[in-house]
Amino acid sequence: MKKIIGVLGGMGPAATLDAMEKIIKNTPATCDQEHIPVIAISFPDIPDRTASILSGGESPLNKMLAALRILEAAGAQCIIMPCNTAHYWYDELRVSTKAHFLNIIDITCNKIVSEGVNNIAILATTGTIKANLYQDRLRKENVRFVIPDDIQQGVIMDSILAYKSGDGERAYQLLKPVIYQLKNIGVERFIMGCTEIPVILRKDCDKKEYIDATEELVRCAIDWC
């Protein structure tokens, strides 16, 4: 039997579903029995990660730990967490489980380094940006990157929140002009560093200019299994 992937999800629910779909899409299976067993939890009541990082709001750690324990007790052997901002608490989560816990930030940065990518912009929540989750690793690897300015970052957050509230078209229309603005200053590639962004840009996701962190995480989990 293949190893079991556990999905620590709900941050948000659509991003969790996207990760599940990508597990299926990326698994080289010709029948049901060849697919990888998956146990998924979607706890959308996990406190807001960006609010906790920026303003000291309620920490999501306890609820994430509770979800992690359920996954481990159910037999999950490889954990993925399709939320970039939640990786601010990755170290605390990793030491709390015997399961193999993959890190979406490290995996995505490994992809960037292996491809020799530069002039890359980080599209992410303000929590992920302010916590330097991507920047710290990219600086160590001497990767040239661009952070959206404050106005652009505000629009990115508005786009993410619009999608979370059910308005996918508005989310898309908000985000696309920011991408064009960043291209105009020399950005060549974009990290989809929030797991809602691949869903918002679903119609564009096949373009090579995007590096989909969710996709890279899922592929790594499949390889591990």
Q: Which residues are tagged catalytic?
A: 83, 194
Partnered with residue 79 across adjacent β-strands are 6, 101
Which run of H or of E encompasses 42? strand 38-42
Give CA separation, 151 vs 12, 37, 46, in Å: 24, 43, 28
Residues 221 and 78: their CA atoms lie apart, in Å, by: 7
Strand order in the sheet with 210-212: 145-146, 120-123, 189-192, 210-212
DSSP3 helix / strand / coil % (the chain, rounded to 5): 55, 10, 35
Centroid of chain to Cα 194: 5
Query: DSSP string covering 83-129, please?
Result: -SGGGGGHHHHHTT-SSEE--HHHHHHHHHHHHT--SEEEE--HHHH
Taking a C-beta distance cutoff of 8 angstroms, is the pair 144, 117 a contact?
no
Which residues 6+ apart lie within 8 Å of 153 measured at CB? 126, 129, 147
